[in-house]
Structure 1
Amino acid sequence: MPAVIRDSKEDSESSSEDEQEDHTCIAWSGLSKSIPVLLFFPEAAVSKDGNICSTGERYNMAFKIVRTESRLVRGILANHGFHEVMFSTKSLSELWSGVLEHFKLEALLNFRSYELTRKDRLYKNIQRMQQTHGFKNFHIVPQTFVLPSEYQEFCNCFAKDKGPWIIKPVASSRGRGIYLVSNPNQISMDENILVSRYINNPLLIDEFKFDVRLYVLVTSYDPVLIYVYEEGLARFATVKYDRTSKNIKNTFMHLTNYSVNKKSSDYVSCDDPEVEDYGNKWSMSAVLRYLKQEGKDTTLLMRQVEDLIIKAVLSAELQIATACTMFVPHKTNCFELYGFDVLIDSNLKPWLLEVNLSPSLACDAPLDLKVKASMIADMFSLVVGLTCNQHVSSRWRQSSIV
């Protein structure tokens, strides 16, 4: 029985065929079709519908948002009839945190997601898996060194391969502090940083470099349950790519972060949500359609992307699962939404760039709203009605772990 549904006995006894039809957001499951499962609709992000809103009001559902400001999450929940509370309450249905995690019913004190989302910890965990299970089996990130502790190892490697190399702070986001170098002397080591081999043969579309933001939902680490959303966003650089080193300092050419490129005078936005292949932000499905028309094996590509996601999560599984055992009294009480950034090279090999905790839900363009509202609505439908999600239409696909 989904935990957000109160008075299950009373509700199941009073539910009739007419009543079921009255509540748009309720699907009925179980052998006798008497178990209510809450469904969420993306349209609620932009408009209020009385039929949708009545469901949350009927069951007196509540939510609380802490340490973050997400108009999208607040809009979807409020327009489904949830009421926002500003205090702790045992009747809380949903808690959304922008610093630690996103929780169902209870706040988790320490989920250790930084083992996956902090760049140095992610690399070290993947490196450990390479040593344990074979380098080829976990060759999902470029060669990387953590400085200053591995500075000498980097210099030895640099003597054999001049680069270029890309520098990233270990705990930054939105492209801040990232730059390219062609010599170790150009590296500032005022803080802990990652230096990674720069992928200088990215797959290009119309001569522009791009990466892909994919949404990954983990509902359990024991056992591991991973869902990959079938839609994502491709973010394009604003200057055509040049493989030579003469433009190594041009961030608008080499970095694909939206936060960086939106500042470019060449940035092109699209105001039509139905046009998904125009400007500097495309949908993932539009990219796949383009690549398929170019004769690329997109089925193989997405299989490799899913494999990359699973292996990244597994690399941090032990540490996070241990923390869950210590701090989470009930396994089904929390979930985590990650933003995976993936770069595809000219050989159609995907590379993991980073994993983001609390991926941006800002909707600066109609395409953002179209993708993110559907993703969040489907996510809430999945996690609230997890016990019978096989009856719910969703674009979240559970990934198989072999």
Structure 2
Amino acid sequence: MAAAASVTGRVTWAASPMRSLGLGRRLSLPGLRLEAVTAAVNPTLSDHGNGLGRGARGSGCSGGSLVAGWGGGAAAAAAALALAPALSAMQRGSSESELAARWEAEAEAVAAAKAAAKAAAEAEAEATAETVAEQVRVDAGAAGEPKCKAGEEQPKAPAPAQPSAAEEGDTQVLQRPPPTLPPSKPKPVQGLCPHGKPRGKGRSCKRSSGHGSGENGSQRPVTVDSSKARTSLDALKISIRQLKWKEFPFGRRLPCDIYWHGVSFHDNDIFSGQVNKFPGMTEMVRKITLSRAVRTMQNLFPEEYNFYPRSWILPDEFQLFVAQVQMVKDDDPSWKPTFIVKPDGGCQGDGIYLIKDPSDIRLAGTLQSRPAVVQEYICKPLLIDKLKFDIRLYVLLKSLDPLEIYIAKDGLSRFCTEPYQEPTPKNLHHIFMHLTNYSLNIHSGNFIHSDSASTGSKRTFSSILCRLSSKGVDIKKVWSDIISLVIKTVIALTPELKVFYQSDIPTGRPGPTCFQILGFDILLMKNLKPILLEVNANPSMRIEHEHELSPGVFENVPSLVDEEVKVAVIRDTLRLMDPLKKKREN
């Protein structure tokens, strides 16, 4: 399984700039496996459930390894209430075609305005060049001979004195002709580049190729500081090598273009470049904070945010949890729910357990130990080979203002290692049946390591979609629903993320720009509805797995499935964030 065919195997390396084509069309980066569905012309995010789904269904199976889910204006990113006009319009019954037509017209108007602005800028640049050139000619004349008045002839320069043959005695002096010098290239005049165009900030003489140029036209590669990459280092090294960029594994005294951190970013010594972490992201996607953010949106737009299970925060809402569960049971005696308890700071399945009733003794212990979130357990998940599985999807948050989101077109499907049964008091403790965490199931005797993308206990998500498609499932609809889930989740987090960002990197103060790869854990229900389980600020980018040689003795073995997916995500993320490419485009 070659790394070059990673994610979907649909890779074309012909470089091309991204062009905004409006709602429902792709922002095509043929060199990347990137695909975009955008409504950037609509700052109120009216694409929810309409244009967004239309665009996603139209472009969900081709292109790059990432999908640009949405690029919104600052208004949409700044306040969740910006959703209100669009959602209320949808509730009034606005049709998809009407919305799409209106947004298409807006996109064309924006494109025309941009074209006019570009033409005006080019005309202004040409006029500036002419003015500067004329000034240079005037300055050159002022430094040389004085100007003649009208009607006067230009005074001729006196002929050089000829030496007399009688000088220095009677010996004849032979005059040597002046040496012939090679024509010198005109030096660039201050204010003009060698091609006669005006210099200025962001304006430079274009070259035929290369990211940047040093002396003699040599290319300057993008520089990446990988000294703090940690577990993502192997995948990052492969990506840098494929891009022919320059890695600094031990850091660098001079600034780098990109700094790659394995965990949270808090480095006040970095004043430029780009860092792959947003300030505050780790805090924002913790289970309690995420639940509060999504629940706020559920209160405002319950139909739009029904992809997140009912949640209660412990210990603060324990009494509310008990009361609401009892109220539902009184209304429907046949309701026999199961709940899953997740510690707030837990990871890799640590501390997660299932209960059938709020009076469970383990829940009492949780109340006294650490904060947690308790959620209604999804009892009817989609099964493959009689096994429960979830999806790890990688999402690139490229920018907060404007909001730009890219979604990986492929991810990982992590399988349980014990055939699934609906929860009962007898099987609640069977973690290999109910919990899909890779870090738990790898210790099961039934865990299957495989180099195939479509078998084993860890597979590519694209292989799952292919299998569902062979059974007649509308995978474009599934993909569209997943994209909608991701976008709405990021929007719920964005207001507080901007507060964190502006606190750490205030406007006007030197500092790096940020981007981040997030890991979305998604469960498909039996009816194919996607459910958000959690969001990871630091998803594992390891491309190897542990292999047990003997009891208690492990070695790290390359995982081709992980490499196929993760290297593509990191490589295409780097290409999207290429700072020298941005300078050339500007």
Is this a same-fold pair by TM over 0.5? yes
| Long gaps (5+) in structure 1 | 3-11, 14-29, 39-55, 392-402
Within-5 A mapping of 1:318-357: 318-328=495-505, 329=509, 333-357=513-537
Q: Distance in 2 between matches of 1:297 and 1:324?
A: 39
Give the superposition deviation at 1:111. 1.4
Question: Structure 1 residues 339-348 or 177-186, which shifts more?
Answer: 177-186
* 1:100 equivalent in structure 2: 264
- Which secondary structure state, in structure 1, belongs to the residue aligned with residue 397 of structure 2? strand
Give the superposition deviation at 1:366. 1.2
Which among 290, 298, 317 is matched to residue 475 of structure 2?
298
Q: Distance in 1 between matches of 2:581 and 2:324?
A: 51
| Long gaps (5+) in structure 2 | 1-16, 18-192, 195-203, 213-217, 330-334, 546-558
The 1:207/1:219 distance shift into structure 2, 3 A limit, reads same
Give the superposition deviation at 1:125. 0.3
- 1:70 corresponds to 2:232: yes
Q: Describe the superposition over 1:137-188 as per-residue Cα deviations: whole angstroms up to 9, x where unpaired.
A: 1112100101110001111233225421001011211111111111222313
Within-5 A mapping of 1:339-378: 339-363=519-543, 364=545, 365-378=559-572
Q: Describe the superposition over 1:241-296 as per-residue Cα deviations: whole angstroms up to 9, x where unpaired.
A: 0114131110000000110101000001113xxx3111111111100011111121
Q: Distance in 1 between matches of 2:446 and 2:501?
A: 46
* 1:166 equivalent in structure 2: 340
Contact 1:122 1:316 in 2 (8 A): yes
Contact 1:116 1:355 in 2 (8 A): no
Give the superposition deviation at 1:298. 0.9
Contact 2:234 2:542 in 1 (8 A): yes
Q: Describe the superposition over 1:178-221 as per-residue Cα deviations: whole angstroms up to 9, x where unpaired.
A: 11111222313211011000000000011100000000001111
Name the aligned partner's letter for residue 515 of structure 2: F
Name the aligned partner's letter for residue 233 of structure 1: L
Question: Structure 1 residues 370-379 or 331-340, which shifts more?
Answer: 331-340
Give the superposition deviation at 1:377. 1.0
- 1:125 corresponds to 2:293: yes
The 1:386/1:351 distance shift into structure 2, 3 A limit, reads farther
* 2:397 equivalent in structure 1: 218
Within-5 A mapping of 1:128-143: 128-132=296-300, 134-143=301-310
The 1:323/1:108 distance shift into structure 2, 3 A limit, reads farther
Alignment TM-score, normalising by the size of structure 2: 0.54
Question: Structure 1 residues 327-336 or 99-108, which shifts more?
Answer: 99-108
* 1:289 equivalent in structure 2: 466
Give the superposition deviation at 1:107. 5.5
Contact 2:275 2:515 in 1 (8 A): no
Give the superposition deviation at 1:85. 5.1
Q: Describe the superposition over 1:11-37 as per-residue Cα deviations: whole angstroms up to 9, x where unpaired.
A: x99xxxxxxxxxxxxxxxx99674745
Q: Radius of gyration: which is bigger? A: 2
Q: Distance in 1 between matches of 2:249 and 2:472?
A: 52
Q: Describe the superposition over 1:311-367 as per-residue Cα deviations: whole angstroms up to 9, x where unpaired.
A: 110001111112223333579821011000000000111010000011101122211
Name the aligned partner's letter for residue 299 of structure 1: K
Q: Distance in 1 between matches of 2:407 and 2:294?
A: 20
* 2:188 equivalent in structure 1: none
Name the aligned partner's letter for residue 496 of structure 2: Q
- Which secondary structure state, in structure 2, belongs to the residue aligned with residue 114 of structure 1? helix
Which among 310, 313, 319 is matched to residue 152 of structure 1?
319
Q: Distance in 2 between matches of 1:107 and 1:378?
A: 15
Contact 1:219 1:332 in 2 (8 A): no
Name the aligned partner's letter for residue 383 of structure 1: M
Q: Distance in 2 between matches of 1:386 and 1:174?
A: 37
- Which secondary structure state, in structure 2, belongs to the residue aligned with residue 137 of structure 1? coil
- Which secondary structure state, in structure 1, belongs to the residue aligned with residue 263 of structure 2? coil
- Which secondary structure state, in structure 2, belongs to the residue aligned with residue 347 of structure 1? coil
Question: Structure 1 residues 241-250 or 279-288, which shifts more?
Answer: 241-250
Question: Structure 1 residues 153-162 or 72-81, which shifts more?
Answer: 72-81
Length, aligned pairs only: 344
- Which secondary structure state, in structure 2, belongs to the residue aligned with residue 247 of structure 1? coil
* 2:103 equivalent in structure 1: none
Contact 1:115 1:319 in 2 (8 A): no
Q: Distance in 2 between matches of 1:375 and 1:309?
A: 16
* 1:177 equivalent in structure 2: 351
Question: Structure 1 residues 318-327 or 294-303, which shifts more?
Answer: 318-327
Name the aligned partner's letter for residue 279 of structure 1: G
Q: Name the Cα RMSD after superposition.
A: 3.1
- Which secondary structure state, in structure 1, belongs to the residue aligned with residue 521 of structure 2? strand
Q: Distance in 1 between matches of 2:487 and 2:284?
A: 12
Q: Distance in 2 between matches of 1:163 and 1:386?
A: 55
- Which secondary structure state, in structure 2, belongs to the residue aligned with residue 220 of structure 1? strand
Within-5 A mapping of 1:250-261: 250-261=430-441
More strand as a share of residues = 1
Alignment TM-score, normalising by the size of structure 1: 0.77
Give the superposition deviation at 1:76. 2.5
Give the superposition deviation at 1:78. 5.9
Q: Distance in 2 between matches of 1:304 and 1:31?
A: 46
Name the aligned partner's letter for residue 238 of structure 2: I
Name the aligned partner's letter for residue 310 of structure 1: I
Contact 2:239 2:567 in 1 (8 A): no
Q: Describe the superposition over 1:37-64 as per-residue Cα deviations: whole angstroms up to 9, x where unpaired.
A: 59xxxxxxxxxxxxxxxxx995483413
Q: Distance in 1 between matches of 2:325 and 2:209?
A: 61
Name the aligned partner's letter for residue 157 of structure 1: Q
Contact 2:389 2:414 in 1 (8 A): yes
Contact 1:217 1:226 in 2 (8 A): yes
The 1:70/1:326 distance shift into structure 2, 3 A limit, reads same
